[in-house]
Structure 1
């Protein structure tokens, strides 16, 4: 399949990301051919992705591949692919909880799952990790309704709510087996509640944790320290060499300012997120609930209940997580994690990729930053 005749595709905003959604049957089965086609569809490699669907930023250069599941415990399989913007690279080494928000509605509209009358729950197996999720969303009259009154930080307006619930993950909540590690001379907590994440006190890296993302991205000393920590954390967390990977995520922690449990600045891996990923927030919330983590003395978790409000640069994300600390030799476990996201269909039709073998003669220059760092982009 070359895609020269066009490929069936839907573009959806899922949470605070935007991605192209495909049925697996509409893409090549060979991963190399599939990735080549997706690079041409998204317009990579080019900083502006001017000749494709991508928006010139990792948050808007994402792909969901969806198919009926052979697993009796799931309705559909979801493979997340991150398409690099300025490199000819497609990776499946992580999940994306924001793009996950659009998988259920897409599956219903493609006929993979019959809709309920009122609301529909779709059981989703995430092929990147083998973990599962259940997405529940409104389907009045047996049709997906993308409109609604749910609002999430980082997205203008409102849309229909998508409740996403994650059962206990099969992987250890503490990948290193310890609630604290010292990595590259810095005390951290490595946690994985759906997304491998390293929690770092912001002040340990000589920043406050309240800076604008653009300001943090321009701090070369900070970038070098983050890279050092990430590369050392990868093997300790069982991820191997992460030089070319986007995991683990790094989340700087600071005391909350707006009634939440903690303030975060998250790097993926060098761009600073203007909000926070769903699974990244789930891992932060789990880390806050672990006695002895680096969040102690920084975070202010609720005295009662399991709902954590994770502050980020454009608002907050609420995570309902139930963590049972380990007793004796038993490791800690996150029994339940749930979040509310929204998703909205932007278009559904046919996308025409750049012809095979055709690359930009020279990379399109990235826009120069204006004073204050406002170049119109949003971080990953």
Structure 2
């Protein structure tokens, strides 16, 4: 940790957006106000900026981002060529901010995460922390099902040995060197919440109460939550494969015991003809085999996708104040090895 506070940083706030036309104006206004007040208080440099990433939105989100870039010098816009998903959009924004800022904060456009916590994140950064996690200490605005399922997921990941900060999503601050380290992870199926703890460097937490969504609908319905959970498990741990092996060993042991029992009953003449036990055993073993094949197939699918080395995303436009699509900058972003 440094003996003295670090210099005032240039801050970048990266905001992934997908069909956020209803909430974008509120998000822009809140974050611009935050940047202005923090710059006036000399917490951040005056040339700090916002970077909005349009993840292939089908509404007017990109038009609003483009207008904001024209109107405000501190706003940048990155448009992906198609919808790639939240994690890829976030990585695209982080990659675009790499080298432009000393500290990079990521936050969702719905602003359910408390923007005032960014002040404490910057203070922690200046105190010497490279990674500052935003941790939800109060989730009363979430439904009972969402709170319960989230707690169950964190517990499951912990049991499988995955290092993950409980009640932390993608609201965090990364220093320049922490971001550079994160971008060296090149897997196509990235689970950022699990990758950031692997980066190391000094880290701390900032706790806050989660608010309500100001407008629009959540972009994480149950289907996407389950997909993210599966992505996290299969990307960060091979424990499910080991559980399959353990289950197979247990079934072999039970089968051996059942074989001994059947032989004893046969020799003593106490066997009773019937089909119930046979049918139940067939269904049981069939279910176990299908489940095992499904889990193994998920991992094989990951290997298949990673072996192709396809890029995570393609950038269609990169806008800054009073500048149209900057194709030179776009090509620079697209060609960086750690973005492939």
Same fold (TM over 0.5): no
User: Which has the larger helix fraction?
Assistant: 2
Greater Rg by CA: 2
Q: TM-score, normalised by structure 1?
A: 0.25
Higher relative strand content: 1
TM-score (norm 2): 0.27
